Amino acid sequence: MNNILGSSGVATILTAVIAFALTASLGIFLVPYLKKLKYGQTIKEIGPTWHQAKQGTPTMGGIMFIIGIIVAVIVGYITAWIAFDYKADQVQTVKLAAGVVLALGFGLMGYIDDYIKVVKKRNLGLRAREKLIIQFFLTVGYLFILTMAGAVSTIVEIPFFGQVNFGWFYYPFMVVLIIGFVNAVNLTDGVDGLASSVTFVFALAFMVYTMKLSLPYLGLFAVATAAGCLGFLMWNFHPAKVFMGDTGSMFLGGCVVALAFGLDMPLLLFIAGIIYWCEAGSVILQVISFKTTGKRIFKMSPIHHHFEMSGWSEVKIVTVFSLVTLIFCVIGYFALPM
């Protein structure tokens, strides 16, 4: 079999180059355009006081890697299909297509949220109930498509422990899991380059996972996501010239979830995605603690702000969080089926 992630890596390399180059080069035009439109980030008063210096930095920059990733996946897929005559089975194709559509759906919701905040000057954007309803229908639609295509099973692989049949409980559990992790990725986008760096490592690891499991087309999605994040870091690393906004972070959340479901190992998110759930968990614990005892566990949540308040620089936070992600992604590799 001609494995496009093995001896014939042209499609993979082409996908990576397009995602990186297109994302990075789009910044040359998009960043000044966003400045011209005055689509600047409004810094909330509840954040660290020194973040006020970032007031007005262009947001919605996630458009850059959304375009880069989508174009790269399409070109990579066509290249593999035509040039190398590598035919993916229907299930693998559905997983790839459904994952891309899911990410785009969440990205569109994020764009609407950003648009309301920046253009309509309603700081909170979409209301929490509105977001939850949209996320619910996107998630249910995604699971429905996978189910109809026979691309999902209620038998779940629990890393290092084996398989468990969740039965009817599978669907409500996975709806909560997907929505939870997409929002967790969104919470991770709090300091320059954090969400893009962590997701770069995560996606790169999933490219390796797809090689081990012989899922080359899903590998194209993974490498495009990694390269797109790297291209965005050219503009987003500290000091950031542009922020991804909810447009970008919600899209990346969809990518993260789709990659895990593509492997048929959604619970792998709890290992490889350790930073995401720690970010979300810190917010939940902070709220519970404050409402029940009147005391805060962290100096500020999400947890990256706690480290900021403890004197860590943004670059140190990004470096450490990315290394932690890498370590747990390596652990996740050994959780894959043999």
Token pair listed for 267: 């619970």
Q: Give me the phi and psi of 40, to 5 degrees please.
A: -95, 150
Looking at residue 130, its pLDDT comes to: 93
Angle between helices 170-188 and 128-148 (to 10 degrees): 130
pLDDT in tens, 19-49: 999 999 999 999 999 888 877 666 554 556 5
How far separated are the first and last CA of the chain, in Å rounded? 19
pLDDT at 4 over 50: no
From the centroid of its chain, how far is CA 238? 19
Phi, psi of 157 (to 5 degrees): -80, 115
pLDDT for 54 equals 67
Cα–Cα distance measured from residue 22 to residue 29, given in angstroms and rounded to the nearest whole number? 11
Tens digit of pLDDT for each residue in 132-176? 999 999 999 999 999 999 999 999 999 999 999 999 999 999 999
4 closest CA partner among 256, 265, 210:
210
Kindly report, residue by residue over 205-218, the tens digit of the pLDDT.
Answer: 999 999 999 888 89
Question: Using CA atoms, how far apart are residues 75 and 295, in angstroms rounded to an integer?
Answer: 53
User: What percent of the chain is predicted at pLDDT more than 90?
Assistant: 76
Q: What is the mean pLDDT of residues 276-302?
A: 94
- Residue in 164, 150, 146, 167 with CA at minimum distance from that of residue 260: 146
Domain range summary for the chain, segments of one domain joined by + = 10-333
| H helix runs in the chain, sequence order | 10-36, 62-78, 90-118, 128-148, 170-188, 194-212, 216-236, 245-262, 269-272, 274-293, 303-309, 314-333
pLDDT at 5 over 80: no
* The two three-digit tokens of residue 191, written as one number: 């300091």
pLDDT winner (highest mean) among 6-15, 52-61, 143-152: 143-152
Model confidence at 85, pLDDT cuts 50, 70, 90, reads low
pLDDT digits (tens, 9 = 90+) for 230-258: 999 999 999 999 999 999 999 999 999 99
Model pTM score = 0.93
Q: Where does the pLDDT of residue 2 fall: very low under 50, low under 70, confident under 90, or very high at 90 and above?
A: very low
In the prediction, which pLDDT does 112 show? 95
